Structure 1
Amino acid sequence: MDVYDRSIVAYHIGLRYEAKDVVRTLQQALFKRQLFDKEDKPVLRSDNGPQFISHAFKEACESFGITHERIPPSMPNMNAHIESFHRILEEDCLSRYKFESYKQAYETVVEFMTFYINQENAIKIKEVRV
């Protein structure tokens, strides 16, 4: 999530969430925002999950030129923007269904994310026109 404009830049859906998944998602975000060749890159803030404290993720951040900032343990309010989004995802998508399979859950979440991102973009376009 880009905290400046609160947009979801890239995301990962999977049965696991390992360092390699975070690295791939970070690469996607950098490509989407065309930041690989830029000198001034955003700071990445995360919690202290194992994927974020791994050597692989640290090395990726260094190679991408990204500053990684971790919030203190037990302080989710310091990452309030993404925590708020997680609540929206839980309330507006996940808690509304009893999934019969991973495939069904995956398809539902992808559909929700597509809708959410498109709504987000429509609101931004409307704000620019006003």
Structure 2
Amino acid sequence: MEKKVSVGRACRVVGMHRSRWYYQNRKNDQPVIDKLQAYAEAYPTRGFDDYYGKIRNEGLVWNRKRVLRVYRLLKLKHRRRHKRRLPARVKKPLQVPQAANHCWSMDFVADALVSKRKIRVLTIMDDYSREVLAAHADFSLPAQKVVDVLKDIALQRPLPKRIRVDNGAEFIADKFTKWCTDNNIEILYIQPGKPMQNGYIERLNRTFREDVLDAYLFESLEEVRILSDEWMDRYNRLHPHQSLGGLAPATYARQTQTKV
């Protein structure tokens, strides 16, 4: 048989102050919930420290204990991590730009040293003049190094309006996409499994592989870099490009710039 008791007596029995019974949390945690869920969706492999750091960098001054409490209530620590599909890529025809620095193309070429250690080469070209802007070799080329190479190129010529790339991890990374946004560069992603939508750089990569990677055995990364730089210089000055009427890329760039 149930028996009613006063709030005061019930609180005394359990050893709780009566004010706690009447206390109501006036904080609205919905903004915190929305923010954490958004980060969990965008960065499913990250944890609380990463999310809280992003929140602080956004200028939000929520207390760490409060954010951690909501994080635990949402059980984000124990969430399952699912792979996400890439955003739908719209096919865009491969067109010749009307001037230099309107559109660049980028891609990677892979190879290995004699020691079997893998290397990668980042190739960048101007779609208009077909000039090779970079053939940078390294053991690892994450998004930040890609941005660093682009910054080096920017010391010698204007940045492009667009950059055409595939859907590689380096090109969809936040560091790369943010840098492009900050510099007003549109990223043209090709459709997955359609490398010929980036046909200019694919053709260049084949030439680079034939002339350099498949032609020599490399003992060190430095050897690859030296030969890549020499090849880039010869290609721009001497390579008779059929699409340019037999002119070398550097010659074509000078002549068209003079006409303008």
Smaller-chain TM-score range? 0.7 to 0.9
Give ranges in structure 2 of 5+ residues lacking alignment: 1-124, 239-248
Structure 1 segments, 4+ long, off by >6 Å, are 126-129
- Structure 1's 74 and 106: CA in aligned 2 closer, same or farther, altered over 3 A? same
User: Which residue in the other structure is 1:121 paired with?
Assistant: 250
Higher helix proportion, which one? 1
**Comparing 82-91 and 26-35, the one that deviates more:** 26-35
CA drift of 1:124 comes to 4.9
- Structure 1's 58 and 123: CA in aligned 2 closer, same or farther, altered over 3 A? closer
User: Which residue in the other structure is 2:145 paired with?
Assistant: 21
Q: Deviations over 1:27-68 (max 9, x none)?
A: 233343234xxxxx5211101111100011111011111111
Using CA pairs under 8 Å that are at least 6 residues apart, name the structure with larger relative contact order, 1 or 2.
Answer: 1
Give ranges in structure 1 of 5+ residues lacking alignment: 36-40
Pairing 1:61–2:183 present: no
CA drift of 1:104 comes to 1.9
Pairing 1:5–2:165 present: no
CA drift of 1:103 comes to 2.2
TM-score normalised to the size of structure 1?
Answer: 0.81
- Structure 1's 125 and 45: CA in aligned 2 closer, same or farther, altered over 3 A? closer
User: Which residue in the other structure is 2:165 paired with?
Assistant: 46
Is contact 2:163–2:188 with CA below 8 Å preserved after alignment?
yes
Is contact 1:23–1:57 with CA below 8 Å preserved after alignment?
yes
Is contact 1:47–1:72 with CA below 8 Å preserved after alignment?
yes
Higher strand proportion, which one? 2
CA drift of 1:106 comes to 2.1
Superposition map of 1:37-116 within 5 A: 41-116=160-235
Q: What do you get for the CA RMSD once the two structures are aligned?
A: 2.3
Aligned residues: 124
CA drift of 1:101 comes to 2.3
CA drift of 1:89 comes to 0.2
- Indicate the percent of aligned positions where both proteins have the same amino acid: 31
TM-score normalised to the size of structure 2?
Answer: 0.43
Q: Which amino acid aligns with 1:22?
A: V
Larger radius of gyration: 2
Q: Which amino acid aligns with 1:60?
A: W
